[in-house]
Chains A and B, each alone.
Chain A
Amino acid sequence: NAGVTQTPKFRVLKTGQSMTLLCAQDMNHEYMYWYRQDPGMGLRLIHYSVGEGTTAKGEVPDGYNVSRLKKQNFLLGLESAAPSQTSVYFCASSYFRDSMNTEAFFGQGTRLTVV
């Protein structure tokens, strides 16, 4: 029972490089989220999706793009990485709003360093 799986777990990028973080969930959840965690800042929402084919901006969307072509996958892209994007990235998923089981499940995180 995998839950939420993030790949890769670690990555070092040079400034200006691009990459894609993959989030996969096997719980048939409608909602998926990408957060970044920085010391003293808590979790800040980058983008989220309320269903296949839909995405929405969160608090800190600049410099990131996302896609949800399949219900189980939520991709986060960095087109031109900057040192300010050095962070730990977490993906999460949850059921639809009217479900009693509406808590989010988190992946183990991706530690990204941009040099």
Chain B
Amino acid sequence: AQSVAQPEDQVNVAEGNPLTVKCTYSVSGNPYLFWYVQYPNRGLQFLLKYITGDNLVKGSYGFEAEFNKSQTSFHLKKPSALVSDSALYFCAVKARRGSTLGRLYFGRGTQLTVWP
């Protein structure tokens, strides 16, 4: 079955420290990869994406993500966390071909808390 896994429900880091939010996927056919952020009582906001090319992609608010094809992972990173980064983060994968073309799969989300 095709799926997206975010193995950590919560990640807690101190402000100024680096952060990593993990994501692995099981979707065939070289899918598109995304990260979204959700603040309380809001919709999801796009952070960054991997389409093709360089395995390290940079996005909004200083976030970046590293694509690893052999491990089917797309981990979200930031060198120095801010308290304002505290939010719910979702990894998403979009099928490029096949019977599920266009289908957009989400992980369960990881609650990031950055403490002062």
Q: Please report A residues at the B interface, Cβ cutoff 8 Å.
A: 4, 30-31, 33, 35, 40-45, 48, 50, 56, 58, 90, 92, 94, 96-97, 100, 102-109
Which residues of chain B are within 8 angstroms of A92 by Cβ–Cβ distance? 44, 104
Contact A100 B104, beta carbon cutoff 8 Å: no
Contact A97 B105, beta carbon cutoff 8 Å: no
Across the A-B interface, give the 7 residue pairs with the lowest CB-CB distance, nearest first.
A42-B108, A106-B43, A43-B106, A50-B102, A106-B44, A103-B46, A108-B43
- Mind listing 26 A-B residue pairs with CB under 8 Å? A31-B102, A33-B104, A35-B106, A42-B108, A42-B109, A43-B44, A43-B106, A44-B106, A45-B105, A45-B106, A48-B104, A50-B101, A90-B44, A94-B104, A97-B96, A97-B102, A100-B51, A102-B51, A102-B94, A103-B46, A103-B49, A104-B34, A104-B94, A104-B104, A105-B46, A106-B43
Which residues of chain B are within 8 angstroms of A31 by Cβ–Cβ distance? 102, 104
Q: State A42–B44 Cα separation when bound (angstroms).
A: 12
Interface string of B76-99 (1 = CB under 8 A from A): 000000000000001010101100
| Number of cross-chain contacts by CB at 8 Å | 67
Q: State A96–B51 Cα separation when bound (angstroms).
A: 13
Which residues of chain B are within 8 angstroms of A104 by Cβ–Cβ distance? 34, 46, 92, 94, 104
**Known contacts A30-B102, A90-B43, A104-B104; can you find 9 more A-B pairs with CB under 8 A?**
A31-B104, A33-B104, A40-B9, A45-B105, A56-B103, A90-B44, A94-B94, A102-B94, A103-B46
Given contacts A97-B96, A108-B42, contact A102 B49 (CB under 8 A): yes
- Distance between B23 CB and nearest chain A CB, rounded to angstroms: 12
- Distance between A108 CB and nearest chain B CB, rounded to angstroms: 5
